[in-house]
Amino acid sequence: MTTPIAIVLATVVIVALGVDTMMYGNQHLIFLMKKFVDLIEWVAFWR
């Protein structure tokens, strides 16, 4: 992955999270972060 592609992808994710937070509040973001932490722990188990 080149640097410009990584920057664009990071920008898209940050903007999407910002729009989601502004429209629906932070409850969805908290739920997603909890699930992401669970995923990271599960993947680390298989390492």
User: Going by C-beta distance under 8 Å and a sequence separation of 6 or more, which residues neighbour residue 17?
Assistant: 29
Predicted TM-score (pTM) of the model is 0.64
**So what's the pLDDT on residue 10?**
95
Domain extent at residue 27: 3-45
As a whole number, mean pLDDT of residues 41-47 equals 82
H helical segments located in the chain: 3-24, 27-45
Specify whether the CB–CB gap between 20 and 28 falls below 8 A. yes
Please give the Cα distance from 16 to 26 (Å, whole number): 13
Please give the Cα distance from 19 to 39 (Å, whole number): 24
**So what's the pLDDT on residue 45?**
77
**So what's the pLDDT on residue 3?**
93
Domain count, the chain: 1
Residue indicated by tokens 């990584």: 6
Instruction: Report pLDDT digits (tens) over 3-28.
Output: 999 999 999 999 998 998 899 888 88
**So what's the pLDDT on residue 15?**
95
**So what's the pLDDT on residue 32?**
87
